[in-house]
Copies of this chain bind each other. A is one copy, B any other.
Amino acid sequence: ESTPIGYFTAANSADVVIARMEGCPDDRLKTIMSALVRHLHAAIKEVELTTEEWAAAIDFLTRTGQICSDWRQEFILLSDVLGASMLVDAINHDKGGGTTESTVLGPFHVENAPRRALGDSICLDGIGEPVLVRGRVTDEAGRPIPHALLDVWQANGDGFYDVQQQGLQPEMNLRGLFEADDEGRFWFRSIVPQYYAIPHDGPVGRLLIALGRHPYRPAHIHFIVAADGYEPVTTHIFMPGDPYLESDAVFGVKESLIATLRDLDEPAAAGAGEAPKRVVEWDFRLMRRRAAPAEPLS
> Complex Cα distance A227/B94, Å?
61
Residue from B35, B51, B75, B211 in contact with A61 in the complex, judged by beta carbons closer than 8 Å: B75
Contacts of A213 in B (CB 8 A): 20-21, 23-24
Closest B residue to A20 by beta carbon equals B213
Does the CB pair A36–B26 fall under 8 Å? no
Known: A16-B251, A53-B32. A90 touches B43 (CB 8 A): no
B-contacting residues, A3-49, CB 8 Å: 4, 7-10, 13-14, 16-17, 20-26, 29-33, 35-49
Does the CB pair A212–B44 fall under 8 Å? no
Interface membership of A79, Cβ < 8 A: yes
* A128 → B minimal CB distance (Å): 26
* A16 → B minimal CB distance (Å): 6
Residue from B7, B21, B41, B43 in contact with A211 in the complex, judged by beta carbons closer than 8 Å: B21
Which residues of A are in contact with B by a Cβ distance under 8 Å?
1-2, 4, 7-10, 13-14, 16-17, 20-26, 29-33, 35-51, 53-54, 58, 61-66, 68, 73, 75-76, 79, 82-92, 94, 210-213, 243, 246-247, 251-255
A-B contact pairs, 11 of them (CB 8 A): A13-B87, A13-B90, A20-B247, A21-B212, A23-B212, A26-B210, A31-B47, A58-B79, A61-B61, A62-B65, A63-B65
